[in-house]
Structure 1
């Protein structure tokens, strides 16, 4: 019973699939698993926000929402005025003048809306 896969009734490392390359790969995989576990544990700790950090994150999100609202108010005023001016130019054949005048009026209306939304107008009227 002497064949290449058995030596003295025992299987060799090669017959079980444990070549030196596979042993090195297994060690590397174990090391990678340990490093990933450490990183994952660190991320869980880093993402747990305390009460103060959550308040700060909510304040930043709220400030971003306010900024987007104010900028959309301004852009809407300008685009609305330009659209009205273009319409009047097409109807009355007053080439660029309607677009220019109504774009300026739209810009003015947009700035007033931004000031009103930001509360600047209310503060100024309280002073008077």
Structure 2
């Protein structure tokens, strides 16, 4: 009891609904991009703080064992800072490669800055 004309109208309606859903999809992608960038920023901050903390811990421990307070602690804090910065740079390079990959970001670098 279905009319061929009715089937054609249903298919047309389905196509219009699909087109409308596709038109709304980029808005969600834009929000996910900014959320992802915030996560990457926190990752880099955490890497720097972790390097400093590990350097402090090693230096403090060696100072306690050897009685050289505060010299080894200062030296290892600087080593930790250097390691943290190196890790941050490696992460930034990885992010840059990911963004330059084909199809990585639809909006590119124009975020209004």
How does the TM-score come out when normalised to structure 1?
0.54
Q: 2 CA distance for matches of 1:94 and 1:80?
A: 18
* In 2, Cα distance between equivalents of 1:64 and 1:56: 13
Shift of 1:52: 2.2
Shift in Å at residue 61 of structure 1? 0.8
Q: How does 1:75-94 map to 2 (within 5 A)?
A: 75-94=49-68
- The number of residues matched between the two structures is 73
Larger relative contact order, structure 1 or 2 (CA cutoff 8 Å, min sep 6): 2
Unaligned runs of 5+ in 2: 1-23, 98-113
Bigger Rg over Cα? 1
Structure 1 runs (4+) deviating above 2 angstroms are none
TM-score in terms of structure 2 length: 0.61
Gaps of 5+ in 1: 1-49, 124-128
RMSD: 1.7
